[in-house]
């Protein structure tokens, strides 16, 4: 009887630890210092001190091919373990905020706004082929040059880490993990 109570308590604590590990974890990307932080609630649990962003910086207004990293709140929408960048954690860009601004500015039509809204409401991946661009994520270097990574912002709008760092980050990430880029 005591042994079954022990296993019950052990299972309870393991379930609680797993819930905390995945439920409250989110990612903060701070553009100005080029830092990515894994957060557990308000606490930093891991910091990646040098990330590369888009060649033309970051902005709330982003369009296909502008080489800017989008600012805002996104989720991890998919993971590609076999990316040319070693590993790719795809973001749910564009989101509803991006769509509203783009519609107001005449960059996209109502149907595209509806498709983006539907994807966000269903916790899916928004269309990746709009005038706003797509295929934005957090990824490794693949075979890219580490010296260039350390010295320049070189991506087409993504956030890049080294291959070893993206492997470490991946341990914290699940589909649906919040990513705040500011």
Domain boundaries, the chain: 26-93+133-181
Could you report the per-residue pLDDT of 57-100, keeping only the tens digit for each?
Answer: 999 999 999 999 999 999 999 999 999 999 999 999 999 999 99
pLDDT at 3: 43
For residue 175, what are the contacts with CB-CB under 8 A and spacing of at least 6?
Answer: 75, 76, 77, 78, 79
**What is residue 69's three-state secondary structure?**
strand
pLDDT at 181: 98
pLDDT at 47: 98
Q: How far apart are CA 162 and CA 19, in angstroms?
A: 28
- At the topology level, CATH places domain 26-93+133-181 in L,D-transpeptidase catalytic domain-like (2.40.440)
Supply the DSSP symbol for 154.
-
Q: What are the structure tokens assigned to 170, written together? A: 């991946």
Q: What are the structure tokens assigned to 29, written together? A: 């990307």
Q: What are the structure tokens assigned to 123, written together? A: 């916790």
Q: How far apart are CA 129 and CA 127, in angstroms?
A: 6
Q: What are the structure tokens assigned to 133, written together? A: 């661009």
Low-confidence ranges of the chain (pLDDT < 50): 3-11, 13-21
**What is residue 123's three-state secondary structure?**
coil
Instruction: Give Cα separations from 118 to 47, 99, 111, 113, 121 (angstroms).
Output: 34, 12, 10, 9, 5
How many other CB atoms sit within 10 Å of the CB of residue 27? 24
Q: What are the structure tokens assigned to 120, written together? A: 């966000």
pLDDT at 23: 63
Q: How far apart are CA 179 and CA 182, in angstroms?
A: 10
């Amino acid at each position: 009887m005591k042994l079954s109570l022990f296993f019950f308590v052990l299972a309870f604590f393991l379930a609680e630890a797993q819930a905390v590990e995945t439920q409250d974890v989110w990612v903060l990307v701070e553009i100005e210092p080029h830092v990515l932080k894994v957060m557990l609630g308000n606490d930093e649990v891991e910091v990646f001190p040098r990330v590369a962003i888009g060649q033309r910086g970051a902005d709330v207004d982003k369009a296909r091919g502008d080489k800017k990293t989008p600012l805002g709140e996104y989720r991890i929408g998919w993971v590609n373990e076999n990316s040319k960048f070693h590993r790719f954690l795809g973001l749910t860009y564009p989101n509803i905020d991006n769509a509203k601004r783009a519609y107001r500015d005449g960059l996209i039509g109502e149907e595209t706004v509806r498709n983006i809204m539907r994807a966000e409401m269903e916790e899916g991946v928004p269309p990746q082929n709009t005038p706003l661009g797509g295929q934005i994520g957090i990824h490794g270097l693949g075979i890219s040059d580490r010296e260039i990574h350390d010295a320049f912002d070189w991506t087409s709008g993504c956030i890049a880490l080294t291959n070893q760092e993206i492997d470490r980050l991946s341990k914290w990430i699940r589909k649906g993990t919040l990513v705040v880029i500011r």
